[in-house]
Amino acid sequence: MQYFSTNRRSPEVTFQEAVLRGQPDDKGLYLPASIPKLPAGFVGDLVERSNEQIAFDVIRPYIGGCISDEKLFSICEETVIFPFPLVPISDRISALELFHGPTLAFKDVGARFMSRCLRHLSPERNGKTIVIVATSGDTGGAVANGFQGVDGIEVVILYPKGRVSRVQELQLTTLGGNVTTLELQASFDECQTIAKRALADADLSGHASVTSANSINVARWLPQQFYYFFALKQWRSGPPVISIPSGNFGNLASGGLAKTSGLPIAYFVAACNANDAVPLFFETGKYQPKPSVSTLSNAMDVGDPSNFVRVLEIFGNNVAGLKDSMCAVSVSDKETAETMRYVHSNYGYVLDPHGAVAYKALSDYLEKYPGSNGIILETAHPVKFDSVEGIIGESVEMPESVSGLFSKPRSVTELKANYDAVKEIILDLAK
């Protein structure tokens, strides 16, 4: 399997090269040159297969022999070691809970897969590997957890000051060791811009192997397909409509791969908050990124989603064809809170704000199509968000993995949104 750049000005590379580089030199994103088709009978046999076998079978064609089958299966086992239950909420909507991993967020899957791939692939490179990640909330904690203590790898996390929740911040700032956390006086989009600049900096690359752990990196992004296969394994109806809380659009792009490969998904709903560049694109046909605004669903506060270019490529860069497969809607904070209260009161289920955005968007869609049923991705545990208890009027049980963070010392450096200052810290880590 070869990978090409969406900007088409960089040469095609192998999976290994794509992982180690993170981003092409032309600042596009890597995409597989072809999308493998599922073997006949694969979908019908999902219920008979273990999650690790499903993960292995799905990801193997994308690896292109860069990792042995034995090692790849072991990586998949360690990646999907926790459960992914599909939980009915109402008679027409179920939630695929993706928050049962170590940092209580869907990004545990991609972070665990990537860390293990990088650990396996990096020894062939001389010197240190620097993993740079910009986070709007959950990515940084998952990456830090996945890479903590890995020899030869330094992790640099950039997060926007005042725009992550209390629990998210603790997960970002209490690890130390080979994890360096930088709190920037910036928006997420500015953090992401700095991360992308570092990846393209030839001077940095001369001192260390620099790569990304955002969904920019194919090893972080490709395994997000697994969710959809795990959902269909448990689904007992016709092809579902799947509503995805959408910020940087990595989950939607990976869902597009799964559907194109042959997984029976009826339709996607890209559920956005007030950061509505993509919903406006669906209305006007013009993509116009804009500065992000803060919302209850902070991990989706992205004004210029990187992965939307992958979505367009997967669906043929055809707006009409894109609309045949998905829609994109914007949900306000008021609607998000009302949905959380409604679902808790009527069904006894506690949604986090991101899941609530997905639920509202799916509920509105299903009203128009009474013969359809659907699934939302519940991407993070509600305890990770400060607003939940105040909205539903009830305390949320705190898992042990979270309560222990409050007694740990914090290790974080606050900086202005200055690339040179960030670069200096990275260069020091590369020594």
Mean pLDDT of 202-228: 89
Could you give the CA distance from residue 44 to residue 232 in angstroms, rounded to a whole number? 10
Mean pLDDT of 366-389: 94
User: Is the pTM for the entire model greater than 0.85?
Assistant: yes
Question: For all residues of the chain together, what is the average pLDDT?
Answer: 92
- Please report whether residue 282 resides in a domain: yes
CATH number reported for the structural domain that contains residue 267 in this entry: 3.40.50.1100
pLDDT in tens, 294-325: 899 988 999 999 999 999 999 988 888 899 99
User: Residues 241, 300: contact at Cβ < 8 Å?
Assistant: no
- Please report whether residue 248 resides in a domain: yes
Residue in the structure block whose two tokens are 């992004």? 221
At 2, is the secondary structure helix, strand, or coil?
Answer: coil
* Rg, C-alpha atoms of the chain: 20
| Tokens representing residue 326 in the block | 């998905």
Could you give the CA distance from residue 22 to residue 131 in angstroms, rounded to a whole number? 9
CA distances from 299 to 334, 380, 419 (A): 17, 10, 23
Q: Is the pLDDT of residue 369 over 80?
A: yes
- Please report whether residue 116 resides in a domain: no
Could you give the CA distance from residue 13 to residue 4 in angstroms, rounded to a whole number? 7
Tell me how far the alpha carbon of residue 404 is from its chain's centroid: 25
- Provide the CB-side half-sphere exposure for 369 (13 A, CA): 13
Q: Is the pLDDT of residue 276 over 60?
A: yes
Q: Is the pLDDT of residue 69 over 90?
A: yes
CA distances from 384 to 88, 278, 287 (A): 22, 26, 32
Q: Is the pLDDT of residue 214 over 80?
A: no
CA distances from 73 to 145, 161, 263 (A): 21, 39, 21
- Please report whether residue 427 resides in a domain: no
- Please report whether residue 355 resides in a domain: yes
User: Residues 3, 30: contact at Cβ < 8 Å?
Assistant: yes
pLDDT in tens, 254-268: 999 999 999 999 999
**Range(s) of the domain holding residue 243:** 83-104+221-392
Mean pLDDT of 217-238: 95
Angle at 40 between CA 35 and CA 253, to 5 degrees: 30
Q: Residue 123 has what pLDDT?
A: 56
What percent of the chain shows pLDDT beyond 90?
69
Number of domains in the chain: 1
User: Residues 239, 369: contact at Cβ < 8 Å?
Assistant: no
Q: Is the pLDDT of residue 106 over 60?
A: yes
pLDDT in tens, 398-420: 888 788 888 888 889 999 999 99
Q: Residue 92 has what pLDDT?
A: 96
- Please report whether residue 122 resides in a domain: no
- Please report whether residue 400 resides in a domain: no
Banded pLDDT at 231 (limits 50, 70, 90)? very high
- Please report whether residue 254 resides in a domain: yes
| Tokens representing residue 369 in the block | 């199509």
One-letter identity of residue 174: T
Q: Residue 122 has what pLDDT?
A: 74
| Tokens representing residue 242 in the block | 């799947």
Could you give the CA distance from residue 314 to residue 258 in angstroms, rounded to a whole number? 10
